[in-house]
């Protein structure tokens, strides 16, 4: 923890000399600005240095011409307790993901909890306990939106009202429990929505023994807010069904690292042709059978930029502003009033790319030089990415 919590939580932070500012906004992905001013964890100014009030800063960060993006959001994780996952029996996996530029994670269900209760009282209790625990404890500062119950047969409207009143804001992946029929899922998703609980549905073949197939007809009928891992987790629906989902639904199109990579690339291309890139969001679906991927979100951005012909600056929006808007988060965009969650990056040393954006377009990962959450520096040069050419400097 030698590099953690270098700056103080409160007070003014001036971030200057930014070489490239990625906004997270798919309509305007690159800002003509070199300075961000933060106060008490929120962005209070964005612009040219001379136009910003930079007096009285408690901490100054000289970016030395590097790139700043909103902190990355992993739209699909399966956390269990604190910074431990029983799936691969790893500890500190979230700290490792922080070093991949991720500042917010969204639970798609605490499904790996050993002995996970499947009765209705038990599943509600687990959801409420998870929501409370991750709200009270942020591993290495990472915001984990936890408490996502896996719905089971027999739940009634008052169960959703009760969950919402207790602070639960998400459903775990619909389809991982006993509710697998379209009409039944539709009813429960509608109840959840009525009480302000957002829903994600599992898409594709079974993820692990015991789960089942969810095909396009069930997904269209259920009408959950997010078409979870549309590229399968791991096994994808036939590509024709995936196209139909993009065309006939208006819901979020979630692509994950632990899915079918070919379908991920084809889907991004299709979404581009349909002019609905604003619906595309990224997740890892980790921890999972294929492991934990600390660089999973960066790897997806590089994959889509290099193989699906998505401009790098737009691919970053899939993991920032798109997710924030769809999931109603206060981070994910560089604009006044938003949380000061940032990832500072540069080209990796010895990439063939002529600049940062080009290096990802060529398929290389960037180097992370610093990650900030709520105005607090949480790590400096990443221990996991390839080394960045240049990294920001902190001046007190």
Q: CA torsion 307→266→231→77, rounded to 10°?
A: 30
Q: Is the dihedral of CA 384, 25, 253, 355 positive or negative?
A: negative
Any contact of residue 180 with Zn ion (CB under 5 A)? no
Write down the least CB distance from residue 370 to Zn ion, Å.
Answer: 33
Q: Which stretch binds Zn ion (CB under 5 A): 129-137, 182-190, 202-210, 340-348?
A: 202-210
**Binding segment for Zn ion among 13-21, 23-31, 206-214, 276-284 (CB under 5 A)?**
206-214
Where are any strands of DSSP class E within the chain? 12-16, 20-22, 30-31, 35-39, 42-47, 59-62, 67-70, 72-77, 84-85, 90-91, 102-107, 143-145, 200-201, 226-227, 252-256, 280-283, 342-346, 367-373, 376-379, 393-395
User: What minimum distance in Å lies between the beta carbon of 140 and Zn ion?
Assistant: 25
- When the beta carbons of 233 and 296 are compared against Zn ion, the nearer one is 233
Q: By CB under 5 A, is residue 233 in contact with Zn ion? A: yes
What CA–CA distance (Å, rounded) separates 294 from 117? 29
Query: Is 99 one of the binding residues for Zn ion (CB under 5 A)?
Result: no
Name the region of 101 (left: φ>0; alpha: ψ -120 to 50; beta: rest). left
Q: Provide the minimum distance between the beta carbon of 353 and Zn ion in the complex, in angstroms, as a whole number.
A: 34
**In 3D, which of 318, 258, 303, 261 has the Cα closest to residue 285?**
258
325 binds Zn ion (CB under 5 A): no
* CB closer to Zn ion, 147 vs 233: 233
Percentage helix, strand, coil for the chain under 3-state DSSP, each rounded to 5: 30, 25, 45
Choose, by CB under 5 A, the member of 12, 78, 202, 327 that binds Zn ion.
202
For tokens 């209070």, the residue is 44
Q: Is 173 in the site for Zn ion (CB under 5 A)?
A: yes
78 binds Zn ion (CB under 5 A): no
Interaction of residue 232 with Zn ion, rule CB under 5 A = no
Size of the site for Zn ion (CB under 5 A): 4
CB 319, min distance to Zn ion, A: 19
Q: Is 294 in the site for Zn ion (CB under 5 A)?
A: no
Q: Which is nearer to Zn ion, 78 or 169 (CB)?
A: 78
Q: What Rg, from alpha-carbon coordinates, does the chain have?
A: 20
Cβ(348)–Cβ(359) below 8 Å: yes
The residue (of 70 and 259) whose beta carbon lies closer to Zn ion is 259
Is residue 354 classed as helix, strand or coil in its secondary structure?
Answer: coil
Q: Which is nearer to Zn ion, 173 or 261 (CB)?
A: 173
Distance of closest approach, residue 202 Cβ to Zn ion, in angstroms: 4
Q: Does 110 bind Zn ion (CB under 5 A)?
A: no
Nearer to Zn ion, 173 or 313 (CB): 173
Q: Using the rule CB under 5 A, is 172 a contact of Zn ion?
A: no
Interface with Zn ion, residue 259, by CB under 5 A: no
DSSP secondary-structure letter at 364?
P
Are 229 and 256 spatial neighbours (Cβ–Cβ below 8 Å)? Answer: yes
Question: CB 257 → Zn ion: shortest distance, Å?
Answer: 13
Identify which range of 140-148, 166-174, 334-342, 369-377 contacts Zn ion by CB under 5 A. Answer: 166-174
Q: Report yes or no: 130 and 107 within 8 Å, Cβ to Cβ.
A: yes
Question: Under the rule (CB under 5 A), what is the footprint of Zn ion?
Answer: 173, 202, 207, 233
């Amino acid at each position: 923890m030698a590099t953690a919590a270098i700056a103080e939580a409160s007070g003014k932070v001036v971030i200057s000399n930014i070489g490239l500012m990625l906004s997270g906004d798919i309509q305007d992905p690159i800002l003509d600005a070199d300075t961000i001013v933060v106060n008490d964890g929120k962005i209070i100014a964005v612009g040219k240095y001379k136009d910003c009030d930079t007096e009285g800063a408690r901490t100054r960060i000289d970016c030395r011409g590097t790139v700043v993006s909103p902190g990355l959001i992993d739209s699909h994780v399966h956390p269990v307790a604190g910074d431990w996952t029983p799936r691969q029996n790893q500890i500190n996996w979230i700290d490792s993901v922080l070093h991949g530029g991720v500042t917010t994670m969204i639970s798609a269900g605490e499904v790996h909890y050993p002995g996970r209760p499947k009765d209705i009282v038990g599943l509600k209790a687990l959801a409420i306990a998870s929501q409370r625990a991750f709200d009270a404890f942020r591993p290495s500062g990472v915001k984990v939106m936890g408490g996502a119950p896996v719905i089971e047969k027999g739940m009634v409207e008052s169960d959703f009202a009760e969950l919402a009143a207790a602070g639960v804001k998400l459903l775990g992946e619909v389809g991982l429990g006993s509710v697998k029929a379209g009409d039944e899922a539709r009813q429960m998703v509608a109840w959840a929505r009525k009480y302000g609980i957002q829903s994600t549905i599992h898409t594709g073949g079974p993820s692990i023994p015991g789960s089942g197939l969810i095909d396009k007809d069930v997904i269209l009928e259920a009408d959950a807010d997010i078409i979870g891992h549309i590229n399968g987790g791991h096994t994808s629906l036939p590509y024709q069904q995936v196209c139909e989902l993009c065309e006939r639904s208006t819901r979020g199109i979630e692509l994950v690292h632990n899915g079918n990579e070919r379908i991920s690339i084809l889907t991004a291309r299709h979404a581009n042709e349909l002019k609905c890139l604003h619906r595309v969001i990224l997740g890892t679906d980790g921890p999972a059978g294929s492991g934990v991927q600390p660089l999973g979100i960066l790897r997806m951005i590089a994959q889509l930029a290099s193989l699906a012909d998505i401009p790098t600056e737009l691919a970053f929006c899939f993991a920032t502003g798109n997710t924030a808007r769809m999931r109603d988060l206060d981070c994910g965009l560089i604009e006044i009033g938003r949380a000061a969650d940032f990832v500072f990056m540069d080209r990796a040393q010895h990439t063939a790319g002529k600049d940062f954006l080009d290096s990802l377009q060529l398929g290389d990962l960037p180097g992370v030089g610093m990650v900030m959450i709520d105005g607090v520096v949480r790590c400096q040069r990443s221990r996991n990415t390839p080394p960045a050419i240049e990294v920001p400097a902190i001046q007190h």
